Structure 1
Amino acid sequence: MLSSLTIAAAILLTTIGAQAQAEAKGDYADVNGMRVYYEVSGEGAPIVVLHGAYMNIPAMGGIIPALAKTHTVYALEFQGHGRTEDIDRPVTYPNLASDVAAFMDDVGLEKADIFGYSMGAAAALRLAIDHPERVDHLITASVSYDMSGSQPAFLAMIPTMVPEMFVGTPMEDAWKALAPNPDGFRPFVERMIALEHEPMAWGEDVKKLKMPVLIIGGDSDMMTLEHLVSMYRLLGGGEPGDMGKPLSASRLAILPATSHTAVIDQVDLLMGFMEPFLNGETPKGMFDQ
């Protein structure tokens, strides 16, 4: 799901992308006919970080250096984003998931934890569906598994989206600052708008997932709260604790007073959810031994 409900927010995210991540080593991987830019930072168990639509690695803000304190972080830039070239191929979630799998092959990652935000979360979810053997723990922030779970206002906006909402704005200038082909913004935007019209109804696939999944969303996000809860229940969550049965391996975290574009910058709160999940730690109830 894209972060373009408010263009002003998207412009802000892209502009932040001009900044450099500290202590990260950048390189390119050969992925499905593209040279995909990525950065590696930190030490520890590997985690792949996937950014949102119209974003890039630095636009993910402080979450990457925070994760790098305890993990080896592999952050990549998707087709047409940041320093990765665009190619004449639709941007679809299966294509993005295939790119992540091919990227992992290129850098020698057989399996890793995966964290995705917004569009990156949908790509991460599709990766878990299509290539479950590549995913250890899955963290999705601000994602739908079915377009019917999107907020009605967002669904109503999709048919109105046209390239002119982006072309000729400061967002294009920021995109050109990193793009290998600065003249390719319009076809890139056309591909991104087309992504909004891609069908998404993955409920039966989500239900079959076996790896632990942490679902993160804002209480005023682009998908309804009911949809986030339904995803959690598809994964076996939501049953009562303290009644003799183990808790689900999957988890649900809702950030208060949080819109879609405000999710990714709440680093301390996110890490408070993510690190215990990745370490398999759970709060102890009064009946736990």
Structure 2
Amino acid sequence: MKTAKILFLLLLLGTMPHLTAQKQAKYADRGDALIYYEVSGQGKPVVILHGGLGNIDGYTSLADSLKKAHKVIAISFRGHNRSTLGNRPYSFGLFAEDIIAVLDNEKERKASVVGFSDGGVTAYCLAALYPQRIDRIISLAGCFRYSDYKPEGVNWIKTVTGKDRLGADASPNDLARMDSLITYMRPLWQTEVYLSKEAAATIQSPTLIIGGDKDFFFETACFEEAHCTIPNSELVILPNTGHNLNQPEIIHKHIVPFLKE
């Protein structure tokens, strides 16, 4: 089994010419799954977590902005991008365990976390479940529960397909892999509670919550509740802004300064 995993890693790493000498591609072995991540920069560690069905390739500008002062660890959730699906039921607690395994792999005792959407939920879980391992967190469009979703968001969760995400021109293999991932993710999204308010209220890490007032999935009340629940938190509601908060002006105006405090 170990030999097969090593061969798998070598094959994947051999197909990544876009990675420069300054960016290291690595894996954390979780037994049932291999968690892919990339490391760049030096300094106090910051973890980047993408959204559901996304991947770390879309966060290059964020990583580039942070690596000037931080060791950036961009992690692909299990089943996403180059991480393998595994065979355990998905939960945000499991995702948090995977992130801690990556920090252990990197021999990092403590790190800050920037998470978008599902990554924002995972950031909350990390701060609540592993307080001694988490410094600061930034949650971009994260929520606490399934009922936080607007009706159109609930419909998206129930109906999204691999073709919707990748387009009709995607290869059959890519479509099949995305559909398999959605099969794992849909029960996760439909879990009644991702993190209880009681658990969220124990978070002591300095927390920045950012949401858009035109988010497709969530009302601003979702972000306001998180701010009222988490003691040491700041809230930024961006006007005329949707769900996508991975934008240069947000990175430089809010994320970079908060991590410097």
Distance in 2 (alpha carbons) for counterparts of 1:188 and 1:126: 21
Code of the residue aligned with 2:149 in structure 1: it is S
Assess if the C-alpha contact under 8 Å between 2:146 and 2:190 holds in 1: no
Partner of 2:254: 273
Query: Please, which runs of 5 or more residues in structure 2 have no aligned partner?
Result: 1-15
Q: Please, which moves more after superposition, 32-41 or 74-83?
A: 32-41
Structure 1's 130 and 164: CA in aligned 2 closer, same or farther, altered over 3 A? same
1:219 to 198, 213, 231: 213
Q: Please, which moves more after superposition, 84-93 or 147-156?
A: 147-156
Structure 1's 135 and 171: CA in aligned 2 closer, same or farther, altered over 3 A? farther
Question: What SS is found at the alignment partner of 2:210?
Answer: strand
Structure 1's 20 and 116: CA in aligned 2 closer, same or farther, altered over 3 A? farther
Assess if the C-alpha contact under 8 Å between 1:31 and 1:106 holds in 2: no
Assess if the C-alpha contact under 8 Å between 1:162 and 1:193 holds in 2: no
Residues 1:259 and 2:242 aligned together: yes
Residues 1:101 and 2:95 aligned together: no
Superposition RMSD in Å: 2.5
Structure number with the bigger relative contact order (C-alpha 8 A, sep ≥ 6) is 1
1:250 to 233, 242, 247: 233
Question: What SS is found at the alignment partner of 2:34?
Answer: strand
Distance in 1 (alpha carbons) for counterparts of 2:220 and 2:79: 31
Assess if the C-alpha contact under 8 Å between 2:65 and 2:256 holds in 1: no
Question: What SS is found at the alignment partner of 2:240?
Answer: strand
Partner of 1:142: 141
Pairwise CA distance, 1:210 = 0.9
Assess if the C-alpha contact under 8 Å between 1:57 and 1:76 holds in 2: yes
Partner of 1:199: 192
Alignment of 1:176-195 (within 5 A): 176=174, 184-195=177-188
Structure 1's 19 and 254: CA in aligned 2 closer, same or farther, altered over 3 A? farther
Distance in 2 (alpha carbons) for counterparts of 1:91 and 1:145: 16
Distance in 2 (alpha carbons) for counterparts of 1:207 and 1:260: 25
TM-score, scaled relative to structure 1: 0.76
Query: Please, which runs of 5 or more residues in structure 1 have no aligned partner?
Result: 1-17, 177-181, 237-248, 281-289
Pairwise CA distance, 1:185 = 3.6
Partner of 2:202: 208
